[in-house]
Amino acid sequence: MDSSFENDSSGVGVIDKAAMVMSALESGPATLAQLVSATHLARPTAHRIAVALEFHRLVTRDSQGRFILGPRLTELASAAGEDHLLAAAGPVLAALRDKTHESAQLYRRQGDVRICVANAERPIGLRDSIPVGATMSMQGGSAAQVLLAWEEPDRLHRGLVGARFTATMLSAVRRRGWAQSVGEREPGVASVSAPVRGPGGKVVAAISISGPIERMGRQPGRVHGHVVMAAARRLSEVLSDASIG
């Protein structure tokens, strides 16, 4: 493991030490002894910093108990790509609306709710109007299914408490790549959603279309699932390209 680190200091000691620990883990898993050797920190200090980073999920442990970089870093990297996502969302949502003739939305999860971060509404006729910034429950709707279906098992099962969908339904969502809702979120409204993925493959958003059941039918996914999935792939490619650039 590389034991050389920049001598520059920000003047905030604890931040510098945390950065040293994470930099040491960049090359792969490390025991506490290896962290001490790489960072030249005192053993108690290295342990204290690593455990604090672990609490915030910036560091975690592998199956052998070694320290490794944690999942929070991937989540933050995905969030950093949100500007690219929103910049690309407008044209993709408009194209999806024009192809399906239904209102289109993009949702991101925030804690126990999902937020509409972009939309393209159907200009005329009966429509499901969801303004940007609208906060909605994670307990119903096809977008909620998509945002929960690929979560880690413990978070998935917690999310199912009180939900109007089941683990079996989420398994089907993962298998076919899209979710549908018929009156689940709101009586008379149907929707179809698919996952937008960040560079690491994590689901970072859900792209959806929604409208009245009388027009979308009782099996809207069979009609629109492939189109919504194609739009989700286009947005996922935007995030992948942004990470490379």
* Phi then psi dihedrals of residue 60, to 5 deg: -140, -170
Report the alpha-carbon distance of residue 132 to residue 45 in Å, rounded: 46
Residue 245 has pLDDT above 70, yes or no: no
10-34 pLDDT, tens digit per residue, is: 788 899 999 999 999 987 889 999 9
Residue 124 has pLDDT above 80, yes or no: no
CATH classification of 11-76 is 1.10.3720.10, yes or no? no
The average pLDDT across 202-216 equals 95
**Per-residue confidence (pLDDT) for residue 3, from 0 to 100:** 41
Alpha-carbon distance values, 146 to 13, 68, 116, 131, 168 (Å): 42, 28, 14, 20, 13
* Phi then psi dihedrals of residue 195, to 5 deg: -85, 140
160-204 pLDDT, tens digit per residue, is: 999 999 999 999 999 999 999 999 988 999 999 999 998 889 999
Residue 216 has pLDDT above 90, yes or no: yes
Where do the structural domains in the chain lie, given as residue ranges? 11-76, 82-240
Look at residue 184 and give its three-state secondary structure.
coil
| Residue 202 tokens, joined | 């994590």
Residue 2 has pLDDT above 60, yes or no: no
**Per-residue confidence (pLDDT) for residue 122, from 0 to 100:** 86
65-121 pLDDT, tens digit per residue, is: 999 988 887 677 666 656 778 888 999 999 999 999 999 999 999 888 899 999 999
134-152 pLDDT, tens digit per residue, is: 999 999 999 999 999 999 9
Report the alpha-carbon distance of residue 51 to residue 166 in Å, rounded: 36
User: Superfamily for 82-240?
Assistant: GAF domain (3.30.450.40)
